[in-house]
Chain A
């Protein structure tokens, strides 16, 4: 089974600074998708950014960008110009390609709690 590892249980960043959250995964598949989800306190998880493994270009969404290293099986999230509203749990997730007439489940890491200091 695929595994997703987030080795940083908690991180802190000063407002307006940059922070990088780490994620590694284990898979034997060649085609898959990677995601970063944000879960604010007592609120629902929302997608921050996603990366398709066959695309070499790193995904970017405004202040959020990823560093995808396929050979190293690494997928880190960089948050630039951190804002107070970025404080949340961040989960890295992996999903393989769907086999015919079936689906591949998401595998989530254990999360990184991001604190943003004013």
Chain B
């Protein structure tokens, strides 16, 4: 399978706990994105990496959120001290800079439920 993969697919956690999600992009893609999607809404941009550099962060990404992409390969998104409002689907996508339209390929997402 050469698509974007995400782990875990589902995560249930108690309020105040820390969680970490992983995204493995398509191997030759140098751009990686994180989105958050709540029920009945389209994905909202969180952050963007070009290779290992995090070049943009949304205002949605509070101080409790941190993302990394060491060595420009996989990426992790950590949420500290989770709140019920963090419950959402977290989507990862990747793209290849050489593609003129920068089509994004999405992973299956990690559904987070904070109880």
Bound complex: CA of A9 vs CA of B39, how far in Å? 12
**Counting CB contacts under 8 A, is B42 at the interface?**
yes
Which residues of A are found within 8 Å of B103, using beta-carbon distances?
Answer: 35, 47, 50
- Tell me the B22-38 residues at the A interface (CB within 8 Å): 31, 33
Which residues of A are found within 8 Å of B91, using beta-carbon distances?
Answer: 45
Which residues of A are found within 8 Å of B45, using beta-carbon distances?
Answer: 105-106
Bound complex: CA of A33 vs CA of B101, how far in Å? 7
**Counting CB contacts under 8 A, is B108 at the interface?**
yes
Summarize B's interface: helix, strand, loop or mixed: loop
B108 A50 Cβ-Cβ under 8 A: no
**Counting CB contacts under 8 A, is A44 at the interface?**
yes
Number of residues on chain A facing chain B (CB within 8 A): 24
- Smallest CB separation, A5 vs chain B (Å): 11
B42 A44 Cβ-Cβ under 8 A: no
Q: A108 is contacted by which of B42, B55, B101 (Cβ under 8 Å)? A: B42
Contact A52-B101, Cβ < 8 Å, known A108-B43, A109-B42, A111-B42:
yes
B101 A103 Cβ-Cβ under 8 A: no
Among residues of A, the one whose C-beta sits closest to the C-beta of B105 is A47
Contact with B along A44-64 (1 / 0, CB 8 A): 111100101000000000000
Among residues of B, the one whose C-beta sits closest to the C-beta of A33 is B101
Bound complex: CA of A111 vs CA of B37, how far in Å? 11
Known: A46-B106, A106-B43, A110-B41. 18 other contacts (CB 8 A): A9-B40, A44-B3, A44-B107, A44-B108, A45-B91, A45-B106, A47-B105, A50-B101, A98-B102, A102-B55, A102-B56, A103-B56, A103-B102, A105-B45, A106-B33, A111-B40, A111-B41, A111-B42
Name A residues whose Cβ lies closer than 8 Å to a Cβ of B. 4, 9, 33, 35, 37, 43-47, 50, 52, 91, 93, 95, 98, 102-103, 105-106, 108-111
Per CB-CB distance, the 6 closest pairs between chain A and chain B, nearest first, are: A108-B42, A45-B106, A44-B108, A105-B45, A33-B101, A91-B42
